[in-house]
């Protein structure tokens, strides 16, 4: 079993835009059935469905559950699994709200941990037993360089991403012996992007720009210069292609990893 089979079902959270949509498109190109999720408006949802269909998805369905609420995560998984078993689960949904630790409101801490970490626990708990029973499954959790190294003013985000990598390693160990080379096995991996061209970094770019006379390009360069030695951002499609490859049967022995796409950030 060396080629990815057609007709796999994949759930990608936070997939109406940005990295999540790029991941969904990459899986659609391999003729997966896609289950999209997000909290965007009707226009964003429709645009995402059209993009994934154009990319080659065999079918598309959309859900808009609030992942900060465990009951809604449970409802999402029931809805997703009602359409058939999930072969691929990508936990991409995430939020960030930078502030000094002493200034972080308790409700912000709770919401960031709920969406960025606890939701992944609940989706994995629901999906992985079925993967093990079939001998094939892929979980890819989109962590961050901030799951490997810390930065100031990001206490809840860093805590959640470090936790997500730890959770993924435990799940990888627990399911490492499920399935076979021929079936494809069950793997759990994290991808750890550095600065990537998405909406989540825009407030940080603009904060730097404000210090440099409002020049957005200068703000982006300053942000990159501080952390990312390549001086280049990543594109969401690059993350999507890695998810697609990790989901191939040939990647059956790649599990428990945290793979940086960070231009050398975490090598310093």
Q: What is the pLDDT of residues 63-92, one digit of tens each?
A: 999 999 999 999 999 999 999 999 999 999
Segment 233-245, tens digit of pLDDT: 999 999 999 999 9
DSSP string, 106-174: HHHHHHHHIIIIIHHHHHHHHHHHHHHHHTEEEEEEE--GGGTS--TTBHHHHHHHHHHHHHHHHHHHH
**Using 50, 70 and 90 to split pLDDT, how confident is the model at 36?**
very high
Model pLDDT, residue 2: 58
When the pLDDT of each residue in the chain is averaged and rounded to a whole number, the result is: 95
Tell me if residue 136 is catalytic.
Answer: no
Residue 62's nearest CA partner among 96, 29, 23, 24 is 24
Please name every residue paired with 248 in a beta bridge, in sequence order, or none if there are none: none
Average pLDDT over residues 193-212: 88
Q: Residue 56 — very low, low, confident or very high, per pLDDT cuts 50/70/90?
A: very high
Which one from 157, 162, 175, 195 is the annotated catalytic residue? 157
Q: What is the pLDDT of residue 5?
A: 83
Residue 202 has pLDDT above 80, yes or no: yes
pLDDT at res. 125: 98
Check the CA dihedral 70-193-243-147 and report its sign: negative
* Domain layout of the chain by residue ranges: 9-194+236-261, 197-233
Backbone φ, ψ for residue 136 (5° rounding)? -145, 135
Residues 6+ apart with CB under 8 A from 133: none
Q: How far is Cα 195 from Cα 247, in angstroms, rounded to an integer?
A: 24
Q: In this structure, what token pair is assigned to residue 144? A: 């961050």
User: What's the rounded mean pLDDT across residues 125-144?
Assistant: 98
First to last CA, the chain: 39
Q: Which CATH number applies to 9-194+236-261?
A: 3.40.50.720
Q: Does residue 1 register a pLDDT over 60? A: no
Whether residue 168 contacts residue 258, with contact meaning beta carbons closer than 8 Å, is answered with yes
Contact call for residues 224 and 195 (beta carbons, < 8 A)? yes
Tell me the percentage of the chain whose pLDDT exceeds 90: 88
Q: Which two tokens stand for residue 155?
A: 């206490």
Helix (H, G, I), strand (E, B) or coil at 43: helix
DSSP 198: S
């Amino acid at each position: 079993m060396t080629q990815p089979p057609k007709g796999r079902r994949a759930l990608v959270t936070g997939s109406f835009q940005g990295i999540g949509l790029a991941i969904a498109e990459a899986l659609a190109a391999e003729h997966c059935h896609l289950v999209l999720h997000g909290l965007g408006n009707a226009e964003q949802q429709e645009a995402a469905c059209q993009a994934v269909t154009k990319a080659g998805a065999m079918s598309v369905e959309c859900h808009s559950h609030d992942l900060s609420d465990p009951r809604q995560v449970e409802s999402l998984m029931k809805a997703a699994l009602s359409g058939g078993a999930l072969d691929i689960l990508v936990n991409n949904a995430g939020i960030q709200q930078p502030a000094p630790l002493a200034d972080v409101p308790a409700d912000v801490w709770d919401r960031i941990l709920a969406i960025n970490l606890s939701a992944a626990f609940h989706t994995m708990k629901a999906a992985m037993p079925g993967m093990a029973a079939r001998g094939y499954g892929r979980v890819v959790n989109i962590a961050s360089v901030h799951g490997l190294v810390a930065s100031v003013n990001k206490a809840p985000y860093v805590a959640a991403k470090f936790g997500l990598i730890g959770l993924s390693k435990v799940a990888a160990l627990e399911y490492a012996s499920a399935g076979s080379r021929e079936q494809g096995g069950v793997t759990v991996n994290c991808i750890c992007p550095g600065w990537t061209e998405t909406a989540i970094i825009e407030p940080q770019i603009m904060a730097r720009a404000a210090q440099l006379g409002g020049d957005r390009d200068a703000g982006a360069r300053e942000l990159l210069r501080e952390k990312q030695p390549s001086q280049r951002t990543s594109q969401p499609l690059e993350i999507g292609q890695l998810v697609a490859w990790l989901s191939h049967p040939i990647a059956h022995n790649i599990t428990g990893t945290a793979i940086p796409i960070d231009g050398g950030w975490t090598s310093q």
